[in-house]
Chain A
């Protein structure tokens, strides 16, 4: 279990914070956002963060960087 941010590099104000879940779950949430959110950024990435609310660049760890069309779900 870990904490994640799903966010966009080009639109960083667009994000969802996920607490205490698996990476597989985070991937399913990312796909739901792509499917459901109108005008969702096309570059949604998942980051594992040590602190859900104070992620510094040092603790922000990209763990999924596939393009949406390559998303494995």
Chain B
């Protein structure tokens, strides 16, 4: 099972424009698998973004590449007192916009193999540090 996918539209966007100055990260209930997150998926077509009290896409400035990789800052999503977040969150998707007008660039599984994180309980925190690595 692949734990990372670059969407076709995302690859084209990266080739044309590079990373956006501000990168937006959303949580997805979908795994990177056929029938889930696939290469042809688009932001406007839907990538399984979750919802829940207080949930929002997290943003951060494009980091500088070093050593042929881009390491983003660690991000946290916490439920606080809310219990209406999904019980199965599988992936983080990098998007170019805060809404669905932009491009979904790529996605990572939260855990190796696509195992779900249960975010339906109160006082639950998810932390993730996305990394893009140059490969030949």
Please list the residues of chain A having a beta carbon within 8 angstroms of any beta carbon in chain B: 3, 13-21, 24-33, 35-37, 52-53
Complex CA gap A26/B78 in Å reads 10
Complex CA gap A26/B125 in Å reads 14
Check A13 against B73 for contact (C-beta < 8 Å): yes
- Partner-contacting stretch, out of B10-18, B31-39, B40-48, B50-58: B50-58
Check A29 against B59 for contact (C-beta < 8 Å): no
**From B22, B59, B78, B98, contact of A33 by CB (8 A):** B78
Contacts of A13 in B (CB 8 A): 60, 73
Check A53 against B22 for contact (C-beta < 8 Å): yes
**From A14, A15, A26, A32, contact of B123 by CB (8 A):** A32
Check A32 against B78 for contact (C-beta < 8 Å): yes
Contacts of A29 in B (CB 8 A): 54, 78-81
Can you list 21 residue pairs at the A/B interface with Cβ under 8 Å?
Answer: A13-B60, A14-B73, A14-B74, A16-B76, A18-B55, A21-B54, A25-B53, A25-B80, A26-B80, A30-B80, A31-B80, A31-B123, A32-B78, A32-B80, A32-B125, A36-B123, A37-B78, A37-B127, A52-B56, A53-B22, A53-B59
Contacts of B82 in A (CB 8 A): 25, 28
